[in-house]
Amino acid sequence: MDLKEIQLNGFKSFADRTTIRFEDGVTCIVGPNGCGKSNVADAVRWVLGEKSAKNLRGSNMQDVIFGGTVDRKPQTSCEVSLVFDNTNHIFPEMPDDEVSMTRRLDRKGDSKYLINGQLSRQRDMVALFHTIGLGKEGYSIIGQGKVDELLSSKPEERRAIFEEATGIS
C-alpha cells in the first residue's frame, strides 16, 4: 500500500489546510505532547469510516471540526483526504495513477464521502479500503492506550491479537 499523503482541513487541531507527505521510508509520526499526532491517527480512522465519536476521542461527531481558539473562529466544516499512489494498481478497478479518498462533515451533521472528487457512498469507499487490507478496526492504526493494553495482555490474548492483525486467525 502506498499512502502518498494525508490532507487535513479543519479537522480537530488542523484549522489550516495541512498536507503530510509520506516519502519513501517514513514509518511513523513523532513529536512532543500536544502537537497533534493522535489527531492524525484519528483523521485516518475517520476517513476509513469510523462512526463512533468516542473512538475519535469526542462526545459527538462534530467534535472533529476545529472548535476555534481565543484568536480564531471555529470552522464550519472539516475535510480529510487520503491520497494513494495507484501506479501499481493497488485499486484494480481504478484506472487513475493516484486515488484520493475524502470525507467531509459540516456542523449540521451532513457527511460526504468522495473518491477522486466524485460523490460516493461510504460502503463503496470502505470496500475499496478493504481491497488493500485497510479498515477502521485494523491494526495499522493503533490508538492511544492500545499499546499499553497490548503489552499488559496475557500471552494467549496477545497471540490472538497478532493472529488477527496478520490475517491468519
Q: What percent of the chain has pLDDT over 70?
A: 85
Higher pLDDT, 63 or 132: 63
Look over the chain and give the mean of its residue pLDDT values, rounded to a whole number: 86
pLDDT on residue 140: 53
Please, which residues have CB within 8 angstroms of residue 75's CB and are 6 or more apart in sequence? 10, 15, 65, 66, 68
Q: How does pLDDT run across 117-152, given as a tens digit for each residue? A: 999 999 999 888 888 877 655 545 555 566 677 778
* Burial of residue 166 (number of CB atoms within 10 Å: 0-12, 13-18, 19+): exposed
Residue 16 has pLDDT above 80, yes or no: yes
Confidence of residue 23 (pLDDT cuts 50, 70, 90): confident
Q: How does pLDDT run across 70-113, given as a tens digit for each residue? A: 999 999 999 999 999 999 999 998 999 999 999 999 999 999 99
**63: its cell numbers:** 467534535
Q: Is 147 left (phi over 0), alpha (psi -120 to 50) or beta?
A: alpha
